[in-house]
Chain A
């Protein structure tokens, strides 16, 4: 990330990836909470979740935690199925949803192999004062207050890799707040970056690689 920032002329766009070290993840859900705080997602919508998997038979069981943001696939199945082209791969490599165009058919939710997309049913945290007053600037676009009947209500939403934070040189909220430093974010094209070194590790794998979706989230076993 730093190299690209110092020498902006060398490449057009950084190849943003996220690396998640499962051995460092303790399943505390801080990423989920900070994501909700950052993106002010309503009830029922979590851009990031932490999945739990139990391995082995009682009493010899072990738990693995697998955080799941949007994979920002390079060959995203959700983009192909959208009838109106409201979701597309942006220049940043982030899969974008144009909530002014989305018709809310939810085909992309059915098509996402990672369950990473949510429909905004219009619910609110009504007990939270001023919850509707500010929305996160999704994909860098200011949304204004959350009003009944106005987008993104009635459309599909998902993790943006905190594009609004990337644009001002910050890491996604989940990466910054991870208490075990299990998450890394950076430019895979920069050979000196932490993510490039970690991605080369034999521990590296991606979810459902056999589907050919080419996810941009790399896990370390």
Chain B
């Protein structure tokens, strides 16, 4: 995308929105930052592609690390964001309507990012499509690859129906909108909303059981590893997806409104905060049982992993990152009157989004440090520079996709235009 088109698109956006545009410096700075991360990440990915997984700190004892942690992190963000969109399109919670398209876009981009992490993690990346050609019906991973694909197609379709009418409206001014409207001419949104409700209804079980519950199942069925092998694992995945997705959307909404110098809907943010607080409470409750049952049953393979997580060299990621920043501090903000402040809600949401990274690492890594068999050496793992930079690059790619889409597509068109016919 050339700078010129972006500029034009920005101008077009400005035509439609009398609201003030973001400062040119902010936009330029943002894209420059993404460019730097993309270049650094691209170099790391190139190094990894040429020299293989030897560039990581992964071993045969700890075969999964940062990339798999980020993969389940982004699958969670995606499922959570999608489920929030379904509150609007399926369950008729119109007060979140202005988040709808952004939620779908976020879900789509997060899923692309998640699959990029999986691809990068494969020992033989050129065989990635084999995962769709060959099938082992006993393997949750084989099912997941198919569910992810269906889910991505569904997200793209839903996003298109959510934006269609505005693409049609822009078609005479924007070539991109004309092309993306696929010849659709109608300005009637009733059919769009029916389609959104149908697709959303199909999508909810796919997102819950197929995408994120299924991702949890990948870990839950591994009886060889402590703390994974639990029927609670898929449920924890689903609830933490709701937590992280809601937090990310609240954060993105507030940041975008501020960056675009638009007014923030305080009431809606407070509602989002309440929702996030409720999800956090359920998550904390699940965490309580997840740890209480193995501790009291003294199952050695589980308690070994818990000791490592709570007292090992990276215990800070559990106590400070996962529990403190990710759960307790935001819960305090969101459970009290502090949530009435928009900046504090944004801080709470940011803390959750960052803290869940700790959750994801602690799901993946500690059970793979503890030896599978007593007598084998324990693992040792901290991501290598290649792993960190490539991760930064992939995340920057996701942010770039999101920013370009938000700049060029009617992602947050004024909802009043279509809101009237939404759910009557």
Contact = CB atoms under 8 A, between A and B. Distances in A.
A198 B292 CA distance: 43
B138 interface: yes
A122 B54 contact: yes
Given A66-B375, A110-B222, A119-B60, A81 B134 contact: no
B374 A53 contact: yes
B224 A107 contact: no
B376 A49 contact: yes
A4 interface: no
B384 to A, nearest CB: 12
Interface residues of B, number: 42
A103 B372 contact: no
Contacts of B376: 49, 51, 68, 115
Contacts of A105: 118, 121-123, 131, 141
Contacts of A115: 60-61, 371-373, 376
Interface string B265-303: 000000000000000000000000000000000000000
Contacts of B60: 44-45, 109, 115, 117-119
B373 A68 contact: yes
A84 B222 CA distance: 17
Contacts of A120: 123
A119 B373 contact: no
Interface string B125-141: 00110110111101111
A155 interface: yes
A104 B141 CA distance: 13
Interface in A115-133: 115, 117-123
A2 to B, nearest CB: 33
B127 A103 contact: yes
Contacts of B409: none
A103 B138 contact: no
B124 interface: yes
A83 B123 contact: no
B416 interface: no
B52 A77 contact: no
Interface residues of A, number: 47
Interface in B367-421: 368, 371-376
A197 interface: no
Contacts of A81: 138-141, 221-222
B106 to A, nearest CB: 26
Nearest to A123: B54
Contacts of B122: 103-105
A107 B373 contact: no
Q: Which of B54, B123, B375 has the most chain A CB atoms closer than 10 A to its own CB?
A: B123
Contact of B223 (A104, A156, A211): A211
Interface string B218-254: 1001111100000000000000000000000000000
B59 interface: yes
Contact of A110 (B124, B136, B224): B224
B123 A106 contact: yes
A112 interface: yes
B145 interface: yes
Contacts of B123: 102-106, 119-120, 154-156
Given A53-B374, A105-B121, A119 B63 contact: yes
Contacts of A119: 53, 58-60, 63, 123
Contacts of A123: 54
A113 interface: yes
Contact of A103 (B124, B218, B222, B368): B124
A79 B376 CA distance: 22
A85 interface: yes
B141 A107 contact: yes
Nearest to B218: A107
Interface string A86-119: 1000000000000001111111011111110111
Contacts of B222: 77, 81, 110-111
Interface of A: 44-45, 49, 51-53, 66, 68, 77, 79-86, 101-107, 109-115, 117-123, 149, 151, 153-156, 207-208, 211
14 contacts: A51-B375, A68-B376, A80-B221, A83-B134, A85-B136, A103-B128, A105-B131, A105-B141, A107-B141, A115-B373, A119-B53, A119-B58, A122-B53, A154-B52
Interface of B: 51-54, 58-61, 63-64, 118, 121-124, 127-128, 130-131, 133-136, 138-142, 145, 218, 221-225, 368, 371-376
